[in-house]
């Protein structure tokens, strides 16, 4: 009977372990493969990680990531889209090193190719989100720059390999003058991490590692129920 109790407990623990790694991570990397990327950029990517434990299937944490080496070119404005309409304006929760959240304004808008009036209005379709530095020139391309947003899409639409995902950016010099053309890619590489994959490899750069997630209350309840059932049977046998 003791073996039965241990087996039930082990089964509950196994279920808990599976449930604690359910996050899906979708990474779309645009640089350096696209011609519109600055020659210095080795990465320009969007990484979406699902937020588990909510009733909404399309809540994500989004990390926008640029990696480069130039210290005389600055990232003034970024915008992103996925082909899905946003249910609410994404909220910036973390800004690149050297800037703070209050340095950035975020709106339903696009990067303006002329370099003026970026992120200043609200376009009627909520398919594009634009974030602009309002203090200084934004971070330089040197090193790793990351923006983290809370994202919620409208309806039941979810991301996939075929989603119409895009990332654009405008760069300026130290005087705030636009440098070169907009980064406006037409292609990206795609990686995904499905449920149960907690390796935290290259496809989960930017916070996709699901190792160490806290067990959900339902799983803890299941574990307790398994132990209680085993104990009851043991008392009945005695």
Q: Which residue has the higher pLDDT, 111 or 230?
A: 111
Q: Please, what's the largest Cα pairwise distance for the chain?
A: 84
Domain 24-207 fold is Immunoglobulin-like (2.60.40)
Q: How far apart are CA 132 and CA 43, in angstroms?
A: 20
Sequence-distant contacts of 193-202: CB under 8 A, at least 24 apart: 193/23, 193/24, 193/25, 194/24, 195/18, 195/21, 195/22, 195/23, 195/24, 196/18, 196/21, 196/22, 197/21, 198/21
pLDDT in tens, 174-196: 998 999 889 999 888 998 876 54
pTM for the whole thing? 0.73
pLDDT digits (tens, 9 = 90+) for 132-150: 999 888 999 999 999 999 9
Count CA atoms within 13 Å of residue 232 on its CB side: 7
Report d(CA 28, CA 197) in Å as an integer. 18
* pLDDT for 194: 66
- The pLDDT confidence band at residue 166, using thresholds 50, 70 and 90, is very high
């Amino acid at each position: 009977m003791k073996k039965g109790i241990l087996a039930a407990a082990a089964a509950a623990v196994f279920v808990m372990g599976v449930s604690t790694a359910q996050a899906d991570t979708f990474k779309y990397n645009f640089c350096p493969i696209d011609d519109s990327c600055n020659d210095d950029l080795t990465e320009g990517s969007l990484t979406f990680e699902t937020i588990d434990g909510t009733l909404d299937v399309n809540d994500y944490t989004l990390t926008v990531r640029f990696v480069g080496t130039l210290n005389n070119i600055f990232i003034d404005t970024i915008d992103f889209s996925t082909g899905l309409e946003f249910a609410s304006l994404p909220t910036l929760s973390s800004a690149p090193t050297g800037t703070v959240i209050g340095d950035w304004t975020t709106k339903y808008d696009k990067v303006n190719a002329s370099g003026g009036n970026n992120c200043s209005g609200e376009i009627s379709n909520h398919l594009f989100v634009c974030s602009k530095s309002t203090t200084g020139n934004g971070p330089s391309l040197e090193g790793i720059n990351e923006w983290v947003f809370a994202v919620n899409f409208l309806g039941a639409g979810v991301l996939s390999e075929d989603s119409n995902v895009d990332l654009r950016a405008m760069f300026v010099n130290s005087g705030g003058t636009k440098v070169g053309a907009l980064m406006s890619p037409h292609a990206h590489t795609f990686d995904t991490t499905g449920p149960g994959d907690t390796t935290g490899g290259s496809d989960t750069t930017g916070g996709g590692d699901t190792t160490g997630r806290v067990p959900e209350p339902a799983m803890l309840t299941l574990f307790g129920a398994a132990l209680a059932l085993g104990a009851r049977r043991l008392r009945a046998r005695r």
